[in-house]
Amino acid sequence: MSVKDAFAPLVDLIYPPRCPLCGEAIAAQRGLCLECWSTLEMPDADPDGEVTAATLYNDAARQLVLNFKHGRKIALAGMMARQISARLPALEGDWLAVPVPLHRTRLWQRGYNQSALIAREICKLRDVTLAVDALLRPKRTPSLGGLGRTERAKVLHDAIACNPARMPLLLGANVLLVDDVLTSGATSNACIHALRLAGVRRVHVACFSRVGEGRRDDG
């Protein structure tokens, strides 16, 4: 038993578990209440097999992502990672978990990279090695919320690059590209482009929520 598990009953006594969406009491600090679980929508499998999304970006998923990304509820990373891991295909061979990067200014403002937190939790569930700094975001970009596919692609041009110090690790590697939300695909495409230039062999995108046609995200 880990130290975390040993102290879990005491933590639950001091901070009674609550659903992060509705605030109702729950049995353990690991997820949502049954009613809120039922509001999450699961996407169909990606026909091309390149993307795994745990949920569709409906109102419930949106609120979870906002609570996680802007509300500092970082404990949601574990729940999101478990949902992603449950839908991931078998990962044969050696894989690296690479989070979508934040520019250093946004990282300082937020205090954490939400994609990196999810990637770290996925590594605990799957036989995957975390490469937290494999991708960099040297160019600061504005929020992508409200922008269309073409505008997002223009904003992200040359905004993401591979870390030169990680080039030997990336050459010929299989990469699990981890993000919280997949919207138009502009960010993931920019990451994939940079990874391909570094000689990565295969990229599989893993995200908690995927925006469907006709929906938008908040950046």
Determine, yes or no, domain membership for 183. yes
Packed helices 76-87 and 114-125: angle between N→C axes, nearest 10 degrees: 60
Q: How far is Cα 28 from Cα 43, in angstroms, rounded to an integer?
A: 26
**Do 79 and 34 sit in the same domain of this protein?**
no
Determine, yes or no, domain membership for 175. yes
Please provide the average confidence, as pLDDT, over all residues in the chain: 86
Q: Which of 48-52, 57-61, 106-110 has the lowest mean pLDDT?
A: 48-52
Give the model's confidence band at 160: pLDDT under 50 very low, under 70 low, under 90 confident, else very high. very high
> What's the pLDDT score for residue 212?
80
- The average pLDDT across 155-167 equals 89
Packed helices 59-69 and 76-87: angle between N→C axes, nearest 10 degrees: 130
> What's the pLDDT score for residue 10?
42
> What's the pLDDT score for residue 140?
79
**Do 128 and 25 sit in the same domain of this protein?**
no
Determine, yes or no, domain membership for 94. yes
If one counts the domains in the chain, the total is 2
**Do 136 and 121 sit in the same domain of this protein?**
yes
**Do 27 and 54 sit in the same domain of this protein?**
no
**Do 127 and 195 sit in the same domain of this protein?**
yes
Percentage with pLDDT > 90 across the chain: 62
**Do 158 and 104 sit in the same domain of this protein?**
yes
Helices and strands, counts by H and E, the chain: 9, 7
31 pLDDT above the threshold of 60: yes
User: Quick check: 128 and 102 in contact, CB under 8 A?
Assistant: no
pTM to 2 decimal places: 0.86
Q: Which burial class, exposed, middle or buried, applies to 95 when counting CB atoms under 10 A from its CB (0-12, 13-18, 19+)?
A: buried
**Do 170 and 138 sit in the same domain of this protein?**
yes
Q: How far is Cα 78 from Cα 179, in angstroms, rounded to an integer?
A: 14
- The average pLDDT across 22-46 equals 85
> What's the pLDDT score for residue 12?
47
* Count of CB atoms situated within 10 Å of the CB of 159: 19
- The average pLDDT across 136-154 equals 74
108 pLDDT above the threshold of 60: yes
**Do 134 and 203 sit in the same domain of this protein?**
yes
CATH of the domain at 47: 3.40.50.2020
Determine, yes or no, domain membership for 129. yes
Domain that holds residue 62: 40-210
**Do 18 and 48 sit in the same domain of this protein?**
no
**Do 3 and 18 sit in the same domain of this protein?**
yes
> What's the pLDDT score for residue 191?
96
Determine, yes or no, domain membership for 206. yes
**Do 167 and 83 sit in the same domain of this protein?**
yes
Determine, yes or no, domain membership for 216. no
209, β-bridge pairs? 55, 181
Q: How far is Cα 98 from Cα 152, in angstroms, rounded to an integer?
A: 21
Collect all residues with Cβ–Cβ distance below 8 Å to 17 and sequence separation of at least 6.
25, 26, 27, 28, 29
- The average pLDDT across 196-206 equals 97
**Do 105 and 62 sit in the same domain of this protein?**
yes
> What's the pLDDT score for residue 13?
43
Q: How far is Cα 217 from Cα 130, in angstroms, rounded to an integer?
A: 27
